[in-house]
Structure formats: structure tokens, C-alpha cells
Structure 1
Amino acid sequence: MSEHPTPTHEAAEPSGSDSASTPTSVTTGATSVVRALENAGAEVMFGVQGGAIMPVYDALYDSEIDHVTMAHEQGAAHAADAYNVVSGDPGLCLATSGPGATNLVTGLADANMDSDAVVALTGQVPSDMVGSDAFQETDTTGVTAPITKNNYFASSADTVGDDVGEAFALAGAGRPGPTLVDLPKDVTNAETDRDPGPAQTPETYTPQSEADEEAVAEAARAIENAERPLLLFGGGVVKAGASEQARKLAIDYEIPVVTTMPGIGTMPEDHDLCLSWAGMHGTGYANMAITHTDLLVAIGTRFDDRLTGGIDTFAPEAEIVHVDIDPAEISKNVHADYPLIGDAGRVVEQIDDELTAAPDADEWREQCQTWKSEYPMTYAAPDDEPLKPQFVVETLDEATPDDTIVTTGVGQHQMWAAQYWTYREPRQWISSHGLGTMGYGLPAAIGARFAADDDRTVVCVDGDGSFLMTMQELSVAVRENLDITVAILNNEYIGMVRQWQDAFFEGRHMAADYNWIPEFDKLAEAFGARGWRVDDYDEVADAIEEAVAYDGPSVIDFHIDPAENVYPMVPSGGANAKFALTEEQL
């Protein structure tokens, strides 16, 4: 990860001033907070005002940092998260004390699970009232300690700026993650003239960038001697900006590639070597390759259960080369025969430099192509059945540019968006992986829109249940006139729950039926966005064309087949090779 620039961002003069812009003048703890963010190069933040955070907001009044008021603090955290994933820079979110801070918790936990760099600033009651159960008081550092990379309780106006700068630098360094600074109101109101220094990590924070040379040599010999080598690209490849190096390794040595869901886009999915993503709902050919490889080179993955299924059946014939910047992930879930600790991009370069020959794997590559033919990602779409979600996703993909950014909520729609959209670049697929947060999609689309170039298309593929959880953020998209298209795959269920209930609970649909939800096209219009309802195949293309062309937020409510399920599917804890293609096979 690159370090963030020091003082490059200047603050605007008050409205109506003709003077040249100058950095925020440090007079209070709050202005020191803002100066620290400017020093770090912050450009956008997402938040919700409130009493305890008000001094910081007042200090933002004259800053050039763009503040986006969200409808809910959870939306602010998700927007900051997606901003980071798209831009590579830490995302910023703000909230007041008490319920404001606790409303950030879901978003921070999400960022923590997915190693996304998010910086949260929370207001707090005055220091002398902490512990007294004051109005809107919560032990924010205590609540968030398990779900942040580090958090801080600011104790002095003279040092609060340095606290914020360190939190910003630490969020994006090494293995990224969320950080938080809790800001008591007396600290932000107190006077100071101390200018915070540049954003930098603690001297004691020294993540290893290069792997041990002897270990690299041993891994390289294993790759050269493998008969069935397989590369596994995880989300850490994206975080490290290492897709170019990883692709080069695959192409130069003709090694097939599978990805994790967070790693989607690290290898172009239309490349012959790419077998797409593996795991519970991954492609059959990716799961077959993992099951039969004799050497799995895993880069930037934590081997979570949705990828591995049962650990005892995961890559059972393979030795494991595991590249990760976090030593805690090595052999945590899957034993590493060749542990390589370091930055993904640098370690891949080390491996590339050490390799002297490509593995002899012609038969293996042919076998991988055979599996592609045997287990294609296809679906039936009879005219006498309701609209199929896979068709909607494919049509959206065809109607939008190759570099379109896709955000999703969590559930069946998320899986279809991952399966039936062809991703060619990293930071193009933006979703909630480890925590599985319904409602992530819409605020993530807002964060992605602020991070992306103006000429890039942003599409949110959402479910009716997910959209219902954070739909209030549509008001933000309308207020900011954000050009985003929301495609709701509406099956009037919490679809993944319904699918599991059918498969494992004898079809008892307890609390999964959502036939009481509103008409989303009309709701969109009420918010001030454009709305469409689509029920039939012949309406799909025209609605998508109109929605994508509309310069502003648009919502298409696709009423899809409520009985459609996501396949392939590996039952929880099952063997990847024993994926089901129908409910009867579960």
C-alpha cells in the first residue's frame, strides 16, 4: 500500500471571499482534526451531524474536504467502505456519540472482516462526564475494539490531530482495516495552536513487505515441479494493488487461476486461464480445480469457510503456498506448506524472479478447460415462467461499459451478480463478503460514485430485502444528483433464506416471505429518482437502456421468478467437489 501524501489539500475560504484558499487555521481541537485530515490528503467524508460531533462539523465549514450528509450512520460507514475499495484511499465517516457511534458498528465490522481501510470519527460526551451515563454516552472505544484495527480516545486538543493522522495512516498500511478516533466534546472545543504533523503510522508498526528469500526459493521449486498447479487470487491482491503482478505470473507461466469472491476481477474472467471464483456458490470448474490441484498458490486470502467448505476436504491433494501480509492468517485455517509473509505484489515479484521454468502442465490446463465445458454457467429461461434474474444480470452487463462498477447487497442477487457479470478489472466488484451485510449495496454505490471518475458507470444490483434496509440513502443520491442505477431483483422473499428453508427445513418459510414490501418504482419517484417496474423479458432491455441513460439516480424494480435458486451450491461445511446443481442433489 502506498503512503498517503502530506499537506496537499488546502481549505476553501468562507463563502464570498476572494482570497486564495489556505489550510484550516488550527485554533481548537476540532480544527486540528480537520487540519490532520487535510494533511493526509482527505477529499471526501460521509456522515451525520449531532451534538457531540458538532465542533468538528463547524471546523469543516471552511474546509475543501467534501462532506456528504447521509441519511443514516450505517450508510455513512458503507459509503466510506466502498469509497476505499474503489479509490484505494481510506474512506472517512463521521457520527455523533451514543446512537450515532453505535449505528456505525455494522459498517465498521463489515470493513474489518473485508480488510477495508475506513477511518471513523465519533463525537463523545465531555471527558469529565464519561462513565456517568450522560445523554447519548456510549463506551465507543470499548464497543468497537474487537472490530477495528486500532481505536483512540482523544485526550488533548494538542495531540488530537496527531491521533487522527495516525488513524488515517494506519487504516491503509499493511493489512488495511478500520480505525476510529473518539472525540470528547471538551477536547474538540478546547483551544490549541499546535499544528498536527503528517499522517504516519506508529514507529512500532512495521509490517513485513518481502518474504524470506529461502522460503521463496522453496516455493518456486514447488511451482516448477507441480503437475497440476493452481493460483488462487484473494482480496489481498486487490488491497495491495497487485493484480498486474499476479496476472503476469499466471500468464507468463500458463498457470490456471481461480479467485475468491473478494478477489473477483484480479484476473479477467474472459481470459482462458481464468476459472472464475470458487466456494459455496462458485463455478463448478473452479471448485473442481481446487479439489484436484497438487499445488495451490494462494495469494492474499484468509481461507474463510465460504471458500473452503470443510477444511478436511479442501484441496485434499495439494501442497499450499500461502502469501499474506498478515502472519496471523498463515496456517490459521489451512496449513501452509510454504508460508510467504509479505506484501502481495512484492512477494509475487520475488516468486517471478526466482522461477526458472514454467511447470509442465499441458494436460492440467486441458482438464480445466474440460471442466469448463462439463459445468457451464447456464440457466433455463422458459417463456412460460417468470423473469429469470440471471437474464437481468447478463442484460445489464451487456448494456454497460466493461469498466462498470457493480455494488450489491447480500443474498441471492449478490450471487447472481457475481456469477453472471463478466469482471475484467479489480475494484470493479464491490460487495460485503465476510460479514454478509444486507443493505450494503445502495450506500456503497454512493461511496463508489464519489470515488469513481465521472465517466464510469455505477450499478447497484440489489435484492428487495437488502434495498428495504437502507433505501433511505436514495434521498442522498437524489440530493447530490448522483448518476447511479439500482437494479432490484425482487422475488418478494429473503431469497437465500427461502432457498435454505426449502433445502434444509422442509420448505417451512418462517419470516422469509416479503410479499408486503412497497412498490419500489413508485417509491423511487417519491424520493425524486426515476423508477421503472419490469415483469417481462421484452421490457428488460428498454428499461435498462433508459435507466442507465438517465443522468441521475434510477431504480428498476425487476419482478423475478420467486422460485429461482442459486446454483452451483456447496452445502455448508461440505466438499467443494460435491457441489449441487439442483435442490435434489443437496
Structure 2
Amino acid sequence: MSGEGVSAPADTNTDTDTDTDTDATADADADARAEERPVTNGAESVVRALENAGVEHLFGVQGGAIMPVYDALYHSEMTHITMAHEQGAAHAADAYGIVAGVPGVCMATSGPGATNLVTGLADSNMDSDPVVALTGQVPTDFVGSDAFQETDTVGVTMPVTKWNTFSSDPDTVGDDVSEAFALAARGRQGPTLVDLPKDVTNAETDKEPGEPRTPDTYTPPERASAESVQEAVEVLADAEKPVILAGGGVIKAEASEELRAFAMENDIPVITTMPGIGAFPEDHELALEMAGMHGTGYANMAITMTDCMLAVGTRFDDRLTGGVETFAPDAEIIHVEIDPAEVSKNIEADYPLLGDAKQVLGQLTEAMPRAPDCDEWREQVQTWKREYPMDYPMDPDGPVKPQFVVEAFDAATPADTIVTTGVGQHQMWACQYWTYTEPRTWVSSHGLGAMGYGLPAAIGARLAADDDQQVVCFDGDGSFLMTCQELAVAVRENLDITVVVLNNEAIGMVRQWQDGFFGGRHMASQYNWVPKFDTLAESFGAAGFRIESHDEVEEVVQEALEYDGPSVVDVYIDPAENVYPMVTSGGDNGQFALSEDQL
């Protein structure tokens, strides 16, 4: 995905004076720390590197091999959040990075601590989220001997990190952490990892680590060539049916403002990918919302019929494209992308524009000769909106509709409320029936689809968010059961989050697929018993609420949101409710189903 994060001020701010002031302040803070608390060992160098990077919060679980680093944290002003499980630490750090725009940091000990991070790191890697993981390791003399809690962490995590390293020298261990932080944030963002042998973190050193900087050899593209930009804008200006496809890279590059300005100035309809939700306000007339497997009918129709697509910061994954041979079949594709490996990997780019999304959108804005003449196209898009509305049948006396619950929470919260989710049907309802108008307010597991993401993500999002922002987590009963132990963390830290469990006593998306494609054979997808999640929440010390009918929704929503602390709302939803529209796996986006009999 395209986008450059907030790694060092010079990467994201063109105001030279501001950069100089910020760098000077950082240097002064580092000097003050060095004078007050000089580095005496490798662990303290690690902590100093994090302080130099401006880290405020860390998420982790203690253990033997990482203990020296935790001991060094004792004297730091950084806030460490002890999670219930290392997977929760990784998800919390991931969400923190999404909301704050800077790398989240997670920590774990060697062996099972490190391997428990893998799911979260794989999620961050798939979604290009900035995360720095620090893992303890057995002493270097023991490496390779199958020592207690030894794992080849670098080898295990190599496929699911942007960069990782085994730190072998106390004089350079801090610089390794600084480099990991810079690499996680710059260019195509992603998770990095530093493996820290216990003898290295215990060893003496007085080496002060440098500020986060990427190697001189790391040069991600920033601006597309003027020639390629000119070719692209001529094609776009001549288009009769143009669309903009905004991916998650728009948000990561802090390019939402540029995207909105470009789209509105040129009156071009905007579609988002699921990671791109919030890049363009969904209440704007040009917004077609999310496309793909469970995207809106009007977004998928526009993709199918467009003659020119400006795709910004997207990797064209299969949940978006369906069958690649039927994806935007008549369109010329302009692809703005920071990672050359993604260009023409899945969808052939006719006009590749390599560079940072914010910078390239600025180039396109300056070079655009005229707005496309596409009044008829915009009218057609509005017609599709009327033909394929995102509505649902509603019986006030029937089982609770999950869509109604999502809409009720949306109506009761401010526009900047942050929504996190697990993975499954509830995730789709949360992105379909909540109106997103701001970037960094939608936090979910997209590429990996990791159930259990929602609650620990809400913890990370809460700590990264502004104090006056609300955080609502939509979860399913199956997804919530995977990480519900993190409620202990939310209660201990007194975090004001609201968890809404859309409870259908099933792994709902699996059950829906079994109904549609496996003859209704519900193998291992339904539960004959689940806990009462409101009672479970109360046992943790959180507030518990329950909704069993539509007429309870409004009052309970208000009570849960007004509760100052973590609350869980157990919503007994219609167990037969399914997610539509739906494009079958590998299918044609223009042939979406609106009900099971259309599959």
C-alpha cells in the first residue's frame, strides 16, 4: 500500500523551520535524558532508543529473557500496558499505530512469548501497519542448543515482518531498535522486530543510541516522474466514466485531505477498499463506499462499468477484485503506489505512478488539465445508489437486527468515534452500516482476517486516541471468545471502551457460507452453549448489558456509552441474519447477490 508514516518529521512535513525546531527539541530531550540517566547496559540502550523515538505507550507480557529490558523500563516515563496474552499485545500495538499514525510497540519474552506475537505481526504485515516488536532471546552462547524457551524468532517471523534482526552487540543494540522504528514507519509501513539475547541486554555499554533513521540504502519513491503524471492526467481528464479507488495507503500517507480535494474539485466518484474506509467521507454525494465481496452494489457496479480508475494506495487483494479478469474490464488503470512490488502484481497498471500517495496526489492536482466531462456518469452512479440501497427488512417484534444495532450506536456517537472489530459477519455489518467520515476511525483486521482482533485493538486505540474520542468495538461471540481475557486489562487500566457483542451463537460467516455453498451442513460453526457475555463482563469488573429486543436498543446504547469505563453489551441478534450484498469468491463484482437464492 502506498504511504509514508510519521517516522521522522522530515518525512511528513515540508516546513523546513518546523523540521529544524522539532529535531532540535528531540535532540535536547535526548541530551537531557542522557545527563539524568546515562546508559550503562544494553537494556537501557534499548529503552533510550524508544524514548528517542517519542514512544509513549508499550504493550507486552513479562518473561525471563526480556526481563532486563523491563528492568530498564522501571525508570522510564513511558507507560507499559501489561496485556493478558502476547497476541493481544501485538493487536493493541497494531491498533495504536493505526490511530496514532506512529509505530505501536509490543514486547514479549523468548519462545512462546515470541511465537504468540506471530498472529499479530502477520496481521500488521498484511495490512502494512507500523509496529515494532521487541522479543527476548536466550543468551547467545545458548542459541542453537534447544535451551529453555528458545525459538528461532528471526526465522519464524521473517515471512511476516518488513524487517527483523538478531541483535548481537550491546554497543549497537539501541541503534538496532532505532532502525527498526524508522523502517516500520517509512515507505510502505509494516512490522519490524528486534530479537534481544539476554546476555546482550545485560552487558555493559555506555553507547547512546542515535535517533530513528533508515539506512542510506533504503530509498522508497516519493514523487512520480513528471512524464508519467502527465500521461495519467490526460487519460483521466478524457474519461467518461472515471472513479477513484482509495486504499489504506491514502490514510497511512496522511493523504486523505489531498484525496478529498482532488475528488471534489474534479467531481469524480470515490470508492474505498476496506482498509481505506474513512479516507473519503461516506456522507458525501460522490462517495460510493466500500467495494468488493461485501461492498455496496453501487460501488461494485461502478467498478465494473468504469473506463478509467485512479487507484491510490491499494494492493488489489482478492476480496476487493473478485476474479481479476472481470475486475474493471474496460478501464485504464492508473495506480499510485509506493511499493514497486505491488504494481501489476494482481491488476495490470496501464499508468503506474510510483511514489508517496500524498505527494503524488499533489502532483496530479497540479497537472490535471480539466475535470472529466462525466455528468451522465455521475447521474448513473446516483441511479445505482437508488437501485441498490443498503437497507434490510425490519420486523420490530422479531429478532434483533444487527444492522439496526450498528446504526443505533452510530447515531448516538460523535463523527470521530473510533470503531474496532473482530472478524466475521459483525465486521461487515460494522463497516456497512456505520457512516465513516474521518480517517483513522476504522480499525480492523483486513488481509489476515484475524478473529479476536477487536478487543485488544480497542485497548490500543483507546490509548492512542484523543481523550474526548469514543471507542466502540463490534465483536462476534466467536471472535470475542478468542481474546476476551483482555477485558482484565481494560478494567485494570480503567479504559473507557464499549464492546458490542453481536451474538448469534455461531461463527456466523462460516455458517453463512455453509448455507450458501455446503448444503446447509453446519459442521463446527454453531454453539449449543455460549456464556452470558454481560455476566462474564461483570466478573471481570466491567459493566455488563444485554439486549434481547429492538425496543431495548436505544436505552441500553445510551447507558453503555455513558458508563465511564469498559462495558460489554451482549446483543442477541437474529441467528439467521446474513451479510449482503455478496460477491462469490473469485466472482464478478458486477454480479453481486442480494440474497441467498441469488448465489
- Normalised by the size of structure 1, how large is the TM-score? 0.98
Q: In structure 2, what is the equivalent of residue 15 of structure 1?
A: none
Partner of 1:162: 175
Contact 2:397 2:549 in 1 (8 A): no
| 2-structure distance, mates of 1:10, 1:183 | 28
**Which residue, out of 141, 158, 162, partners 1:145?**
158
> CA offsets, 1:71-106, max 9 Å, x none?
000000000000000000100000000000000000
Deviation at 1:475, TM superposition (A): 0.3
1:570 matched to 2:583? The reply is: yes
Provide Cα deviations, 1:280-303, integer angstroms capped at 9, x if missing partner.
000000000000000010000000
TM-superposition CA deviations, 1:340-374 (whole Å, max 9, x none): 00000100111111111101000000000000000
Compute the displacement of 1:8 (Å).
3.6
- 1:191-233: CA deviations, max 9, x gaps? 0011111111011100010001100000000011000000000
Amino acid of the structure 1 residue aligned with 2:531: P
Measured against aligned partners, the alpha-carbon deviations of 1:411-454 in whole angstroms (never above 9, x if no partner) come to: 00000000000000010000000000000000000000000011
In the TM superposition, residue 10 of structure 1 has moved relative to its aligned partner by: 9.6
**1:496 is the counterpart of 2:509:** yes
Q: Mean Cα displacement is larger for which, 510-519 or 473-482?
A: 510-519
Aligned counterparts of 2:61 and 2:7: Cα–Cα separation in 1: 28
Aligned length: 580
Where does the alignment leave 5 or more consecutive residues of structure 2 unmatched? 10-22
Structure 1 residues 493 and 347, CA gap change in structure 2 (3 angstroms): same
Aligned to 1:236: 249
User: Counterpart amino acid of 2:74?
Assistant: Y
Tell me whether 1:470 sits opposite 2:490 in the alignment: no
Matched, 1:308 2:321: yes
Is the aligned partner of 1:69 residue 2:114?
no
Whole-angstrom CA distance in 1 between matches of 2:112 and 2:119 = 12
| Cα distance between partner residues in 2 of 1:481 and 1:243 | 32
1:391 paired with 2:404, answer: yes
Q: AA paired with 1:192?
A: T
Which secondary structure state, in structure 1, belongs to the residue aligned with residue 590 of structure 2? helix
Partners of 1:238 and 1:482 in 2: CA distance: 26
Aligned to 2:459: 446
Say which of 267, 270, 273 aligns to 1:260: 273
Deviation for aligned residue 1:378: 0.2
| Secondary structure in structure 2 of the residue aligned to 1:483 | coil
8 Å Cα contact 2:451-2:479 kept in structure 1: yes
Aligned to 2:188: 175
Query: 1:16 — aligned with what?
Result: none
Q: Does 1:327 align with 2:331?
A: no
Q: 1:385: how far off?
A: 2.2
> What is the deviation of 1:9?
9.5
Note the alpha carbon deviations across 1:137-191, whole angstroms, 9 max, x for none.
Answer: 0000000001100001000100000000000010000000000000000000000
Distance 1:73 1:395 in 2: 33
- The residue correspondences of 1:5-404 to structure 2 (distance < 5 A) are 8=26, 24-404=37-417
1:375-404: per-residue Cα shift (whole Å, max 9, x none)? 000001113421000000000100111110
Aligned partner of residue 45 in structure 1, secondary structure: strand
Contact map agreement 1:46 1:79 (CA 8 A) in 2:
yes
What letter corresponds to residue 390 of structure 2 in structure 1?
Answer: M
Q: What per-residue deviation string (whole Å, max 9, x for no partner) do you get for residues 530-565 of structure 1?
A: 001110011111111011001000000000000000
* Structure 2 counterpart SS, 1:365: helix
Distance of 1:382 and 1:10 partners within structure 2 = 64
Residues 1:4 and 2:8 are matched in the alignment: yes
**1:21 Cα shift?**
10
The one-letter code matched in structure 2 to 1:217 is Q
Q: 1:146 to 1:192 in 2, by over 3 A?
A: same
| TM-score w.r.t. length of structure 2 | 0.95
**Structure 2 residue identity aligned to 1:85:** I
Deviates more, 1:508-517 or 1:62-71: 508-517
Structure 1 residue 521 and structure 2 residue 534: aligned? yes
Task: State the percentage of identical aligned residues.
Answer: 71
Q: CA deviation at 1:516?
A: 1.8
